[in-house]
Copies of this chain bind each other. A is one copy, B any other.
């Protein structure tokens, strides 16, 4: 049973430019690697993401996920009808939400989106963090990490150089 983050960030800790763009990440030369994403996706039972990330994903056109998606939002009331059975809106306290999802059989959760990740970290609800670092300083953007009620020590389990643009670190709580 694990809540897992799999995300890429710049060396200075941003997951997107101020306007949300990812050109610094998507523009990297394609070396054919999937950087463990396929294996990671196989492990998870569902995806929990924030409204902003959800809207970004909607903007891609085709819905990319085969696993159920839970969109964390207090404002969204309904999702586009074509997503019925694939995505639903959830809210309320995160601890209660996680318990509810696990009780429904969604045991390993992919926690995605900047604010959502920060909220989970602030409640000490992240069990694993797979962080891909891009070898670029952006200077500004949307930060991966935010304020916390206190120190959150993690354990580094593995770190790997993928190529000169990317390293990947694997942390557990």
A84 interfacial by beta-carbon distance below 8 Å: no
Interface residues of A toward B: which range?
35 or more
Min distance, Cβ A28 to any Cβ of chain B, angstroms = 10
Closest-by-CB residue of B relative to A140 is B147
Contact B121 A137 (CB under 8 A): yes
A136 and B156 in contact (CB under 8 A), knowing A145-B13, A169-B167? Answer: no
- Check if A157 is an interface residue, CB within 8 A of chain B: yes
What chain B residues lie within 8 Å of A158 (beta carbons)? 161
Q: Are B154 and A159 in contact (CB under 8 A)?
A: no
Inter-subunit contact B135/A171 (CB<8 Å): yes
Q: Which residues of B contact A131 (CB under 8 A)?
A: 11
**A150, CB-defined interface residue at 8 Å:** yes
Are the CB atoms of B156 and A137 closer together than 8 Å? no
